[in-house]
Structure 1
């Protein structure tokens, strides 16, 4: 079983990300992305043995099924199918029902679908991808790994909203948290880097990408996290607003904005894009800053300030701290953003290791700062969510 492959599928509303993962090493033997589903320019791109390939998906319907059919062709053409022992599916929202990885059958898919009110853009798409995969690979065991599962260890004081109790009991409104597989993975890797048992380690994990979240991890378990009932809350993100006075929603609706317009603005037109008026991409923000763009400069300042505030506030959830972990596309690669965040944490004793910060980019892990006062380090750990999904699928086998 140690040399077995797991096909990992992440089905989105208009996309399907996939990878064949070596469950021993975590390496992606085959990886790719189907995108623009529902449009005439739907495509699949993939990488195998260092070469990149491209395929146009015909028509404007059933693109998830067509993408999975193409995926079947690929794993057979590249002679990988004989070594694939399971299929693992990433699922964004498991609510309170799913606290660990489960083996898929139609009843589980129906349960994931039933939770779509909590993640309408994601869970319905996951169900479509699961059914397509189960039909395409009927002989393979399939598993669902939930983003929310890692955060089910949060205490009630962390996940309970200060709202009427029936809003929780009747509608399940509480903090759930996301990016669980990423926070789980990097906290284990960080403990290895420090040569400590993860069960005796405490970290603040900072996943910064187009979606972003912070997680307080005590003795290997999530005890608080910035995303809440949905992935909209917490940090400012690429196009999402993060924490916001809920009274603003009522105010805009009284001004004649529809529910759809409000939530499109908060989900798709806020964050880096909204503040800068320019782009949702952090690299574009940094380039525009260098050219003197004031909106980009403000977006950079708002983002780094909010991240630093969250990191500092999560010291309350921990008895001690071994390290701050930067991960995700921005966290792993953006030297200026890490530098600004660490500079904002001087009261906690953090200083940047300039050489370490310059070296820890583009897939390289490393120490980028430290706090003598706290006896803690700041580090970069590249995340590998697909490896977690592969590992947890193998474990259930």
Structure 2
């Protein structure tokens, strides 16, 4: 059995999954949070094995405790990430699955920013750690936390390879015309100002899964992938290569998001600084934490937006309209860049669950061959499903993303070299 541990580390928390890669099945997952905040919380879930057919084992009935997932919660001081990983190890020891029997052959780490230095999953060495640290100037909220998780994980698992999978790596195929900002070239180069793109693991996983589902080679397809969660991005993918993406130097650019503004005239910030007296930190907080759906309607969750729209709230209606307007604008622009599109996929929390967002985002794309089937769009399911009509020239899909599985696949590939 080949198991891979996937770690996604934040400044005061980290998530993990242990995956058995022969069957690509999750054995356990967890969240350790409130690190360094006095009383920490750790949740550890053990996933049930695949149940045999009842006919094969007559004494087992559906719902037998033998085949139920189980979640365990602990509260205790967790002063730092190293202590957090010990809590995780204790949870595996106490509740399973046994790490002696399911020892990870590698640990994969999500790292947000790889700049222009990292264009593929990379074995973590001391030099790589130095580079991740240096790239913190491009992602000060993310890379230091990712690095803290790497350091702690290497102490917990010192004898296996650790691999960094960068959010930005999938977008290193962007052509210069797509990643270059039209500002002073020397100044941009000296401060590494360019579009990098994010959500790379999700866009790569979804585009590959979509190609497999429609039964066509990835290399033949022109695809759009809408990753719509609290953070949101869209990527144009030509033959499996990212050629345009909405997020830029940071995850702030592009679509309207839960609390982020997305695209904004830069002069608006100058106006707010000069006339409104907002500092750089004030503007940072405004754009990242007080904008998007939250700034427009007072709530950041699309489900709440929907409830308020149904109740006649004009602010929620406007927020929804602005959100959809931006989706349509990017769809049209990216279809033009690709010269047409074969497959469009929706993924992540909003993309997978919001019937209205999908319907309205695609409503004006008939000119490009998009035709949504309302009944299919309203049918909920857990796997990949088609929401376009049989006559639609473009196949429109809902594809549940699995960033952890994508990270695990890439990690295993590097470890096997």
Q: Aligned partners of 2:277, 2:236: CA distance in 1, in Å?
A: 39
Q: Aligned partners of 1:370, 1:164: CA distance in 2, in Å?
A: 47
Q: Give how far 1:167 is off.
A: 2.5
> 1:267 and 2:285 equivalent?
no
From 19, 22, 25, the counterpart of 2:20: 22
Instruction: Return 5+ residue gaps in structure 2 as ranges.
Output: 48-68
Give the aligned partner of residue 64 of structure 2. none
Q: Aligned partners of 1:335, 1:136: CA distance in 2, in Å?
A: 43
Partner of 1:6: helix, strand, or coil?
strand
Q: Aligned partners of 1:129, 1:140: CA distance in 2, in Å?
A: 15
Q: Give how far 1:81 is off.
A: 4.2
**Equivalent residues of 1:75, 1:81 under 8 A apart:** no
**Equivalent residues of 1:208, 1:331 under 8 A apart:** yes
Give the aligned partner of residue 73 of structure 2. 54
Give the aligned partner of residue 398 of structure 2. 380
Give the aligned partner of residue 53 of structure 2. none
Deviations 1:314-334 (A, max 9, x none): 012213321111001110111
Instruction: Out of 246-255 and 339-348, give the one that drifted further.
Output: 339-348
Deviations 1:28-73 (A, max 9, x none): 21111122333345312221131122111316x32x2222111122
Give the aligned partner of residue 171 of structure 1. 191
Instruction: Return 5+ residue gaps in structure 1 as ranges.
Output: none
Q: Aligned partners of 1:336, 1:70: CA distance in 2, in Å?
A: 42
Give the aligned partner of residue 31 of structure 1. 29
- Label 1:290 to 1:24 Cα distance change in 2 as closer, same or farther (>3 A): farther
**Equivalent residues of 1:17, 1:34 under 8 A apart:** yes
Instruction: Out of 224-233 and 304-313, give the one that drifted further.
Output: 304-313
Q: What is the TM-score normalised by the length of structure 1?
A: 0.94
From 206, 216, 219, the counterpart of 2:236: 216
**Equivalent residues of 1:349, 1:372 under 8 A apart:** no
Partner of 1:352: helix, strand, or coil?
coil
From 3, 9, 12, the counterpart of 1:11: 9
Partner of 2:341: helix, strand, or coil?
coil
Instruction: Out of 261-270 and 68-77, give the one that drifted further.
Output: 68-77
**Alignment size in residue pairs:** 390
Instruction: Out of 110-119 and 352-361, give the one that drifted further.
Output: 352-361
Partner of 1:382: helix, strand, or coil?
coil
From 96, 105, 109, the counterpart of 1:85: 105
**Equivalent residues of 2:341, 2:368 under 8 A apart:** no
Instruction: Out of 262-271 and 44-53, give the one that drifted further.
Output: 44-53
Structure of greater Rg: 2
Q: What is the TM-score normalised by the length of structure 2?
A: 0.90
**Equivalent residues of 1:208, 1:327 under 8 A apart:** yes
Q: Aligned partners of 2:341, 2:257: CA distance in 1, in Å?
A: 25
Q: Give how far 1:345 is off.
A: 2.4
> 1:160 and 2:180 equivalent?
yes
The Cα RMSD (Å) is 1.6
Partner of 1:196: helix, strand, or coil?
coil
Q: Give how far 1:385 is off.
A: 0.6
Give the aligned partner of residue 131 of structure 1. 151
**Equivalent residues of 2:340, 2:368 under 8 A apart:** no
Q: Aligned partners of 1:55, 1:349: CA distance in 2, in Å?
A: 52
**Equivalent residues of 1:109, 1:127 under 8 A apart:** yes
Deviations 1:117-139 (A, max 9, x none): 11111000001000000011111
Partner of 1:28: helix, strand, or coil?
strand
**Equivalent residues of 1:360, 1:380 under 8 A apart:** no
